[in-house]
Amino acid sequence: MASTVTRGQRGNHPSGQGAQPAPTPRPGYRQLLRTRGAWTFLLPGFAARQPFAMLTLSIVLLVQHTTGSYGVAGAVAAATGVSMALFAPYSGRLADRYGQRAILVPGVLVHAVSGLALTALALAHAPLWLLFLVAVPTGASVPQVGPMVRARWGVKLKGSPLMGTATAFESVTDELTFVLGPLLATALCTTVDPAAGLVAEASLTLVGGLLFAAQRATQPPVGTGDGARSQRPRHASALRLPGVRVLIVTFLGIGSVFGGMQVSLAAFTESLGRPGLNGVLYGVFAAGNMLSGLVFGAVVWKRAPRHRLLAGYAALAVAASGLWAADSVITLAGLGLLVGVCVAPALITGYTLVESLVPVGARTEAFTWLTGAVALGQAAAVTVSGQFEDRFWDGAGFLVPMGGTALALLTLVALRSRLVPRPVEGARTRGVDHRETVTVD
């Protein structure tokens, strides 16, 4: 059974005998949610992070409605995804330096205005170059609330055994976001109005983001990591760590699953003359994702995260390889459920590895790189899937998740040694009380 210890404390008891008995299991979700003040940032944070999962599909459904082309719709959506991926890490750095509120408030205002402007331009059949122009600030200003919530947990639970539970809980929350966001976008765009998805996305960003920013009591102190800004060691960018780069490629593949599924399911159901089934099929995929995430995040695993990631990602690549061959709604629903079940373990384990691979002062940035990688993979998949659907047969876009996960798996297998945790630079100078908490299998 896994236990939580501090680096340098193993072997303190002679011969390992006469020491404490086996440690108690990791505290559960219920105990975590009883943490004082947690709900003040969890609820608005949950609303504010929905746009990440709603934005791409809302743009695809709206622009496809106004232009009739999935290729064009995917390209516009990709512009937001690329800009989101490029700006997310810098948003994390600025939040660490100037405080979350200082970055979040102007960011959500810009995003709401840009999102509504993109909606109006699409409905007005504006030139394509203008849609691309507005899509860039729309994506760049998506609030990075997930990493900000993780940073708040880190401050509130520093040194607590609940920190491992919080990591799992946040990964499950990300899964739930990927479930509810696309379902909400699909329902609004297909039953209310094609523009309703983007309008709701902008509204949630504005309201949830401002409420989250207002929770100053739980905000990490400005310029702190392990100490005051003047005392804080200058960490290199998280991107310079080999393990983070491997995880970025891994998350690009996961993004290809989300992007390819969103476009291809919409095209498949439209070809059947039943576009409303898109929400049902994506709901099956999302339900498998969410349920798998809830179970996987609650288990105390005996195997090391690196081995779990390899096994889970191999399963995801195999499951995604069969999507393109689906020839009926029932077959596609079954395969979608299987793919959804396989996504959650890969995502959760990837985020878990950050805890052991990245120094404390660079973790917010590392989380934003992974979030951005999902967005970038999703953007690329939306673009390529849209082109495949326009140029080839209905369902050809499902080749994208297969190719994306296969390439990422090859990279993961080839570079798996880079996911082995290494001693944190400068740990010797920080003292025992500041040592990094890790999970020992």
In a domain, 412, yes or no: yes
**Residues 218, 155 contacting (CB under 8 angstroms):** yes
| CA 79 distance to own-chain centroid | 18
In a domain, 435, yes or no: no
3-state helix, strand, coil in the chain (%, to 5): 75, 0, 25
What are 227-256's pLDDT values in tens digits?
Answer: 334 344 455 667 677 878 889 899 999 988
In a domain, 29, yes or no: no
For the chain, the average pLDDT equals 77
In a domain, 68, yes or no: yes
Partner residues linked to 438 by β-bridges: 5
Per-residue confidence (pLDDT) for residue 430, from 0 to 100: 39
CATH classification of the domain holding 213 = 1.20.1250.20
What are 301-315's pLDDT values in tens digits?
Answer: 778 878 888 898 999
Q: How many angstroms separate the first and last alpha carbons of the chain?
A: 7
Q: What total number of domains does the chain contain?
A: 1
Asked whether the predicted pLDDT for residue 437 surpasses 60, the reply is no
In a domain, 179, yes or no: yes
**Residues 338, 318 contacting (CB under 8 angstroms):** no
Provide the 8-state DSSP code for 417.
G
Per-residue confidence (pLDDT) for residue 360, from 0 to 100: 65
Arithmetic mean of pLDDT, 389-418: 85
**Residues 65, 185 contacting (CB under 8 angstroms):** no
In a domain, 17, yes or no: no
Q: How confident is the model at residue 14 (pLDDT cuts 50, 70, 90)?
A: very low
In a domain, 397, yes or no: yes
User: Residue 251: which domain range?
Assistant: 37-225+238-421
142: helix, strand or coil: coil
In a domain, 180, yes or no: yes
